[in-house]
Chain A
Amino acid sequence: MNRALARLLICLYPRDWRQRYSEEFEALLLAGRGGLRTAANVVWSALCEHIFSIRGGYMDQPTFGAIIKKPSAFLPLAMSLTALAMLGGAYIFSLSRGHGGLVREPDEGAIAHLWQLLMAGQMPVLVFFAIKWLPRAPRQTLYVLALQAGAALASMAPVFLLNL
């Protein structure tokens, strides 16, 4: 196979895979017979690598700390905690004005609408995070998802407990 085609095919692989294997893989492609069948095999393997990506021994395994710093990991957490903080703030404000805490109102106020927006808005982010990171680092991603679920439940608990 000629060098230009080999490099082009290698470009189809994910970046971390290329960093680890590109040199030796290129040597293998250059040494072997080219042809449509080989090219199709490499294209298919590159596609599979994008869908079910693996982490070779020398590739950096993303740690829990590295994953939690990703926007799609911390945004849902921040949204849940903001929603919880809003409820807490509203509760304290209500107590300070002598209303005896939060009560269910037929006409939902701004706080309720914001809470709903924050909780619903994090769902697409959560789905994106799970799709992107579960195949790459299942265990660490599950920890983050558990944390996100915990934060969401903590935010929902007062709504159900106080029957708001």
Chain B
Amino acid sequence: MIEDIATMCGTRLGPGTLYGAIARLEQQGWIEPLPAEERRRPYRITGKGLKVLRARLSMLKMFTKAGLERLESL
């Protein structure tokens, strides 16, 4: 997951930061743990998490679009 985030965003999260985020996402009910694979535990996004993510990404898309349009008009 750390590698994935590093590839996508160019930022490498520390393990403490990553697990802080995982714990909070789980607390909100946006992700849920799957059965452990040896000592590693995969997680998956929940229905509630999908809804929230979709809303946040849509908002981000609108924000990006508006920002780019204003930049172009300069």
A residues contacting B by CB (< 8 A) are 17, 20-21, 23-29, 32, 37-38, 41-46, 48-49, 54-58
Contact = CB atoms under 8 A, between A and B. Distances in A.
Interface of B: 2, 14-20, 22-24, 26-27, 29, 32-33, 36, 38-41
Chief secondary structure at chain B's binding surface = helix
Given A24-B36, A27-B39, A57 B14 contact: no
Which one of B17, B19, B22, B24 has the highest number of Cβ atoms from chain A below 10 Å of its Cβ? B19
Nearest to B24: A54
Nearest to A31: B40
A104 B33 CA distance: 65
A32 B16 CA distance: 12
A118 to B, nearest CB: 38
Nearest to A20: B23
A56 B23 CA distance: 5
